[in-house]
Chain A
Amino acid sequence: MTGDRKIGLQPEPFIFELSAPGRVGYSLPPLDVPDCELAECLPAASLRSVPPALPEVSELDVIRHFTRLSRVQHGVDVGFYPLGSCTMKYNPKVNEEAASLPGLAGVHPYFPEEIVQGALAILYHMERYLCEIGGVSRVSLQPAAGAHGEMAGLLMFRAYHEDRGEHRTRILIPDSAHGTNPASAVVCGYETVEVPSDSRGGVDIEALRGAMGPDVAGLMLTNPNTLGLFDENMHRIAAIVHEAGGLLYYDGANANATMGIARPGDTGFDVVHFNLHKTFATPHGGGGPGSGPIGAVEKLAPYLPTPLADFDGRRYRLVWDRPQSIGRVKAFYGNFLVVVKAYAYIRTMGGEGLVRVSEDAVLSANYLMRKLAEHFHVPYDRLCKHEFVASGSWQKERHNVRTFDIAKRLLDYGFHPPTVYFPLIVPECLMVEPTETESLQTLDAFAQAMADIADEAAADPEVVRTAPHTTPVKRLDEALASRKPIVRWQRGL
């Protein structure tokens, strides 16, 4: 990928450093209405005295700056990106075209309903598809990301219990959970209780039983979990939580493993979120935008965020009148153009294709796990689903080479490393999710790179400990950045 060392020699300047007074990159048509002084329209106290110091650059300056920067960036289109729990699958190009159609990209959210029927149709049908995949009765497309869906879902738990006159203050979360789970529980006003995993990597049933009680609002669960393991006791877990009056929340980060195979709504979950930017192939954009639709089984559906899209057989419309709703979680109707891309993906795959997606994702992960097990410790030796965890613990014990070093060394081989040091319950963790869109050749090449690094760790550990060697910048000092935070450009930086 980005092995071009010449780029690395000269860091790209800041756009502000390219600025020259009077240079422009933009022009407007001449003002065609009568001119006036600003002070005639606005109170003097509301006007700014100094213009904002935006850069004065040409269009080419801007294009070249960001294009040159982009050459040192890894992305799915550049190379393999096996980040566990992130589902970095291929982002189909036609979906980008779909979201650029003027009849979608150029639609104002407050256009009258009669001229947005096509957009509403997408919302409506997308909800039906997600209901089908999730095994739930209704879905709100409003949340902007997975964590946003979690927040909405837990507020729904709260509203549900309150309607029953129950005061439940705690949320149970397995020790293998994503960091957003406890953070979301807290922003929703809950205390969190950690539930340990058993030796097979699933929820410890006895511990769960012990933790349940009349003060527990529910359990948040990722299934398959972040170890890539489907919880074999799923139905028991659901029964234990439900019998004690609790609810089950499904973190959909790992839904890529089970489409058409096990639907969360059928397996006992009450509220589920989907990550359209994972399972449904919409791009991650360097951190976002995502989309985190939230679904609910019938008894929780009245609490979903508003609005929802309905169809009366003739016209689509947005429905606001849902008195038990927790309300809206953002302005407008969600990250609509992301929903459009996911809609395009679902229509492109079809029902049969989605099942094949999960089958291939699971097959690839198991194959890669088997290959990596030749050189790395694999702590849970059982079938994995779409991802698995390996550990650099052998390399650490034998050669004092850490997982951190292995990850950095992978960069020299042109691969993005897996998720590292997560889940927290596996020391020196490497969490690998190949996805179904990577070919056998790519999987083999990655396995070979990992094997080579394992050999290097034994034969020449220093080369691993000091990696990366070929990237535009070498290991970066994160502690310095945190100790003396410089978070904006200023002259002389």
Chain B
Amino acid sequence: MGFQHRYLPHTDEDRQVMLEALGLRSVGELFADVPDAVRFRGKLDIPPAMSELELMRHLAGLTRGNGNVDEYTCFRGAGAYDHFIPSAVKHITGRAEFYTAYTPYQPEVSQAVLQSIFEYQTLICELTGMDVANASMYDGATAAAEAAIISSYALSGRRRVVVSSALHPEYRETLRTYARGPKLEVVEVPYEEGVTPVDRLQRMVDEETACVIVQQPNFFGCIEDMAALGEVARAAGAHFVACVDPVSLGIMKPPGEYGADFVVGEGQGLGVPLGFGGPYLGFFAATSRLIRRMPGRIAGVTVDAEGTRGFVLTLQTREQHIRREKATSNICSNEALCALAATVHLCILGKQGIREVAEHSLKKAHYAQRGLAEAGYRPRFAAPFFKEFAVRSPVAVERVNQSLLADKIVGGAELGRWYPELADSLLIAVTEKRTRQDIDRLISRMEGSR
């Protein structure tokens, strides 16, 4: 004994009191039911305990070499974006009442979590133009995959998922993994000129198609003709799944207006730090006729025994803890705290702010695209774009990025990583955080790399 750790309140004396109450002599006796055959006899090979001071020194040392968006000027997006996060967001998500709570299964002491989920659902519905949203999925990729699976369940007999090759490559990979279980067939429509070709889609969609998934703006930042693509899905009786950038919805048409059945996407741009890829949040919205098919948690309004308004988790018979093998999805833990960040973020931005962020990102991206074109980096695609665009590099993309990095600029994502035919192209993202000076510096350095 004699080991007293700051997170473990029992003293040797406490342990003695408890053991005596149990009629035991040692803690070891508590494990008499663990058969010898499966007993671990060794010592865990894990470094010894650190004090708080040592831990923070260790982490400071470990992360000193890590680049971050304060130190580097970031023009990389491809599904994770360096948008500005107002300080109010962290102050609310940093409240321990929120972050140390469990899932609100005891609603009488969980009204804060429940009401904030309800407000989150409302905000997502407002942005997307849909009737119902759930409390969040793991991320944009898994939200898209679940929409595909539910489409197949809802439209029995349809086992084909048709997906644009301009959907984020990692979302498509995730979809393929998810499709292994229910044995869905995933078919890709190759992009043409940076967008999903309507005629080609038409030829690939039929009465066996459960859904069509298209991203708007797509992975290349390009604007798709969602009305026409959605019409192809609808004409075949398939669901249309729109995967959207929520920030773009400050100015762009809500998918509810072009007939999407499911709207999914990555919510990271709404107040969630980049965090080397997570945790983020997937948002998931649908039309009201699909409400009982929705995966995940949903908060709803009710009244208490005295008629006072309150909130509960509702329609729980869809979920695994009630339905077990008949649930619509196996999701249990979601990304509630990230959804709270998105809620606070959207409330702070408000009606004007969301539009301003979208407009500034769009205008700065267009300024950057024009400047780069003049510097010899021609647009890869002619299609209109939102805050991200592809350029063709006259020199090796690795060389361009290597020299930018020396100037503390993280250049565009190298598209050859996912699309071999685009090995000469960079995908450049510009958010409202980039200044004209940042952009001018990017342009002049890239010009200098030629």
Contact = CB atoms under 8 A, between A and B. Distances in A.
B177 A105 contact: no
A180 interface: yes
B199 interface: no
B252 interface: yes
Contacts of A105: 68, 273-275
Interface in B239-258: 249-254, 257
B27 interface: yes
B232 interface: no
Q: Which of B141, B310, B319 has the most CB of A within 10 A?
A: B310
Interface in A329-359: 329-338, 344, 346-357, 359
A382 B363 CA distance: 69
Given A42-B362, A333-B278, A473-B310, A26 B249 contact: no
A110 B330 CA distance: 29
Q: Which of B38, B226, B250 has the most CB of A within 10 A?
A: B38
A350 B49 contact: yes
A263 to B, nearest CB: 5
Interface stretch (B204-212, B338-346, B374-382): B338-346
Interface string B307-328: 0111110111101111111110
Interface size class of A (residues with CB under 8 A): 35 or more
A92 to B, nearest CB: 6
B227 to A, nearest CB: 7
A374 to B, nearest CB: 11
A43 B217 CA distance: 12
B31 to A, nearest CB: 6
A28 B36 CA distance: 65
Interface in A68-109: 69-78, 81, 83, 86, 88, 90-92, 94, 96-109
A353 B314 contact: no
Contact of B72 (A69, A115, A437): A115
Contacts of A112: 401, 405, 410
B428 to A, nearest CB: 12
Nearest to A155: B180
A54 B312 CA distance: 23
Nearest to B277: A332
Contacts of A88: 102
Contacts of A417: 106
Contacts of A16: 119, 122
Contacts of B203: none
Interface stretch (A33-41, A393-401, A453-461): A33-41
A214 interface: no
Interface stretch (A116-124, A204-212, A294-302): A116-124
Nearest to A76: B100
Given A33-B436, A382-B33, A289 B333 contact: yes
Nearest to A2: B109
B275 A493 contact: no
Nearest to A369: B22
B56 interface: yes
A353 to B, nearest CB: 5
Secondary structure at chain A's binding surface: helix, strand, loop or mixed? loop
Q: Which of B3, B50, B315 has the most CB of A within 10 A?
A: B50
Contacts of B299: 487
Interface size class of B (residues with CB under 8 A): 35 or more
A121 B62 contact: yes
B123 to A, nearest CB: 7
Contact of B177 (A1, A155, A229): A155
B129 to A, nearest CB: 8
B394 interface: no
Contact of B92 (A14, A67, A158, A331): A67
Interface string A290-325: 111000000000000100000000000000000000
Contact of B82 (A108, A119, A258, A268): A108
A53 B227 CA distance: 23
A198 interface: no
A36 B336 CA distance: 38
Given A48-B249, A115-B66, A353-B3, A439 B80 contact: no
Given A135-B40, A150-B330, A75 B35 contact: no
B116 interface: yes
Contacts of B351: 51-56
Interface in A5-57: 8, 11-12, 14-16, 23-26, 28-29, 31-36, 38, 41-43, 45-49, 51-57
A383 interface: yes
Given A42-B223, A488-B133, A235 B38 contact: yes
Given A135-B40, A335-B279, A287 B336 contact: yes
Interface in B47-100: 47-50, 52, 55-56, 58-60, 62-72, 74, 76, 78-80, 82, 84, 86, 88, 90-92, 94-100
Given A26-B349, A51-B355, A102 B173 contact: no
Contacts of B315: 482, 485
A145 B56 contact: no
B435 A259 contact: no
A366 B266 CA distance: 44
B168 interface: yes
B65 A118 contact: yes
Contact of A330 (B113, B174, B276, B347): B174
Contact of A1 (B60, B109, B330): B109
Given A25-B347, A155-B180, A286-B336, A144 B305 contact: no
Contacts of B180: 155, 158-159, 188-189, 326
A334 B277 contact: yes
A189 B111 contact: no
A163 interface: no
Q: Which of B8, B21, B277 has the most CB of A within 10 A?
A: B277
B11 to A, nearest CB: 9
Contacts of A111: 67, 72, 76, 276, 410
Given A69-B111, A351-B48, A482-B316, A78 B38 contact: no
Given A73-B101, A363-B10, 8 more contacts: A28-B432, A65-B347, A101-B60, A104-B63, A190-B181, A262-B39, A348-B52, A487-B301
10 shortest interchain CB distances as A-B pairs: A332-B277, A103-B63, A285-B337, A106-B68, A350-B49, A115-B67, A109-B277, A287-B336, A289-B279, A351-B44
27 contacts: A28-B356, A32-B435, A46-B252, A51-B355, A52-B351, A62-B347, A62-B348, A66-B344, A69-B116, A81-B102, A107-B69, A107-B276, A114-B405, A116-B67, A148-B142, A148-B331, A184-B330, A232-B35, A284-B101, A285-B101, A286-B98, A286-B116, A289-B281, A333-B277, A349-B5, A362-B31, A487-B133
